Amino acid sequence: MVSFVRLAAACAAVLVIQFGDLRAQEQSLRPELRPNWDATTRAPAMPVLVAATASSVLRPQLRPLAVAEPAPPLVQKTAADAGFQRWIKAFRGRALAQGISGGTFDRAFRGVRYDPDVIKRDRNQSEFTKTIWEYLDSAASDTRVKNGKSALRKHRRKLEAIEAKYGVDKEVVVAVWGLESAYGSFKGSNDVVQSLATLAYDGRRGRFFEQQLIAALKILQNGDTSPRNMTGSWAGAMGHTQFIPTSYLAYAVDFTGDGKRDIWSDDPSDALASTAAYLARFGWVKGQPWGVEVKLPRGFNYALANRKTKKSPGQWAQLGVVGVNGQAVPNYGTASILLPAGGQGAAFMIFKNFGVIERYNTADAYVIGVGHLSDRIKGGPEIKARWPRGDRALTFSERKEMQRRLTAQGFSTQGVDGKIGPKTIEAVRAFQRSEGLAPDGYASLSLLKKLR
């Protein structure tokens, strides 16, 4: 769901995957720019398309939990609530100065209260660390694949029409839908205006959330939905494919032609078309895979496994990098090699469409999850390579410790932030070379122990 702009940077990661930073950047209109929640780690079971089976929302990045909750209890006029009401009065002037009518504002804020639970969620997004294989076990589970095929059959005609209009493979659109809201079964029930207003008033990321709140008011003023029907996650991600308000304004489409861009209704047409429009906007190449699982030759130069090194499949084949069938990968265009778990796990040859999905969510795990799920929905096989399942992901404190120790030993990570990004990976590779290890850049627990 997508472009849906920057909530990622806006919220601390709920789920951190060891091999990469899951937070989106605030510089671009992307769907991942909002906090995220991984239902597999702490959510109650949700209804799905297959009876008696749970298929949860699965986003590695920064989006908050969007779970249905009981009606809020009556709130006494606490100091926070009184301050919140004063903030609303001041914000009204700022909103009207940006083109929001008084009527729209007053309707949107009727009954809105300070929601301490939103602040609690924002403050307590615990770090649930997962390995790539644990994430993919859920992202492309048998249940999620089965439900995806069922959703594709049920909505085939509209999905084919969307594919024809936007040139984005229908299985990819369905896979995004599956990871964002479990195919529409879990869209979130928080009042978006109330949640965004609470977060904007809180001030920790006030400027960002006020921007989202203005965008939400513009959506209401345009008549796309009503205030209390505008529901979503506690941090404002909305609808079947979880757009945040600024992304919605930039990329949502009215596919049904009823004059509204309705991403909330039981009919997912507008939401699915909006997702396709978003991916198309960022350069989706029809018929090109996101990536292909490959086999690396013995003695492969791991320094070549980075996003900046691009070669044609034929050139990679000359270096011994071939598909799992032992044949050269078809010429889908230039590609890079990605090793999400280092040399001990699966290897992928990734193409331009990997980067397009990445605009939706910057986490490698999410992109691989969407891509692999879409392949499975098409009838493709499971990932062939074995993962190093004996490993566990590093905790946040351990990642920071690794960065400190690498830097202290002369392999600077250019900062200690707990994110295993390109600079840390290069530092890991330099240390591995100094120790005579395969320089695959994999930040493992065994590597940390060696640094100690």
The length of the chain in residues reads: 452
* Cα–Cα distance measured from residue 434 to residue 412, given in angstroms and rounded to the nearest whole number: 14
CA 306 distance to own-chain centroid = 21
Please calculate the CA angle 440-316-294 and round it to the nearest 5 degrees.
65
* Cα–Cα distance measured from residue 417 to residue 134, given in angstroms and rounded to the nearest whole number: 24
Q: Which two tokens stand for residue 339?
A: 């090793």
User: Helix or strand or coil: residue 301?
Assistant: coil
H helices within 126-205, ranges in order? 132-139, 142-154, 156-166, 170-181, 192-202
If phi over 0 gives left and psi between -120 and 50 gives alpha, with beta otherwise, what is residue 144?
alpha
Please calculate the CA angle 450-127-117 and round it to the nearest 5 degrees.
165
User: Helix or strand or coil: residue 451?
Assistant: helix
Could you write out the DSSP letters of every residue in 358-421?
Answer: HTT---HHHHHHHHHHHHHHTTPPPP-SPP-TT--PPPHHHHHHHHHHHHHTT---SS-SS---
Block residue for tokens 């900046």 = 308
User: Helix or strand or coil: residue 270?
Assistant: helix
The catalytic residues are 180
